[in-house]
Amino acid sequence: MRGTIHYCLEETIISKYGKEKWSECLTSMGLPASHSFASQIIDDIDEDLTLKFILNVPSILNCTLQQVFDDFGEYWCCIYAPKLYNMFYVGVENTKQMVLKLSSIHHTVAKVRQGATPPQFNYKEISSNELEISYISERNLFDLYLSLVKGLDKYFSNETKIEKTSDNSAILTFSH
Ligand code: HEM
């Protein structure tokens, strides 16, 4: 997985839980306490290590994995992506528009360098403000996807109703 995910997780944890907790996350996985992913944003980082790392974080922060996903989703959508990938926000006015743009965004980032295998999405329009979305990725991080939708809501001050219909699908009812 692209190191940009790791670096955003690093910034998320440092901003909410402090640098010491971040160092603990690193050392518990055998990485040096002073390590930073800042210089590895476009690197492809080993999948197994990445997933183990993410799954290990809640035990260090003493919280649930869902909480880590929610923290990450909010930080990514409200702070990290607007700073690093602001071009993708241009002309986008609400959560629904960004959700519909995600396939093209991920396609674009995957093209920049080989090795990225970002998630793909299928959409079925149920009504003008309701979408059934299916998440396609071998990483099974659909709960992270849903936390990112919540992060978009924070950014756009929207309130999307999320109804999970399976391990990789949900009905999203948009407020805008
Ligand atoms: C400007 C906005 C965004 C950019 C530039 C972006 C870019 C990326 C990149 C580079 C990865 C790593 C892919 C890889 O290494 O294979 C990724 C992963 C991911 N992205 Fe995004 N992303 C954006 C917004 C979002 C949003 C808003 C959502 C969901 C609502 C989302 C859902 C995901 C998920 C769930 C993953 C984890 C990988 C997986 O499930 O396979 N992304 N994204």
Per the CB < 8 A criterion, the answer to whether 150 and 73 are in contact is: yes
Domain ranges of the chain: 3-63, 94-173
User: How does 133-170 read in b/e, with b if 16+ C-beta sit within 10 Å?
Assistant: bebebeeebbbbbbbbbbbbbebbebebeeeeeeebbb
What is the rounded distance in angstroms from the CA atom of residue 19 to the CA atom of residue 135? Answer: 33
Which residue of 41, 70, 90, 145 sits with most ligand 1 atoms within 8 Å of its CB, as the best mutation to test the pocket? 145
pLDDT, tens digit, for every residue of 47-63?
999 999 999 999 999 99
pLDDT, tens digit, for every residue of 61-89?
999 999 999 999 999 999 999 999 999 99
Ligand 1 atom with minimal separation from the 116 CA = 16
Per the CB < 8 A criterion, the answer to whether 107 and 96 are in contact is: no
6 CB within 6 A, ligand 1: no
Q: What is the pTM of this model?
A: 0.96
pLDDT, tens digit, for every residue of 3-14?
999 999 999 999
Q: Which CATH class is domain 94-173?
A: alpha beta
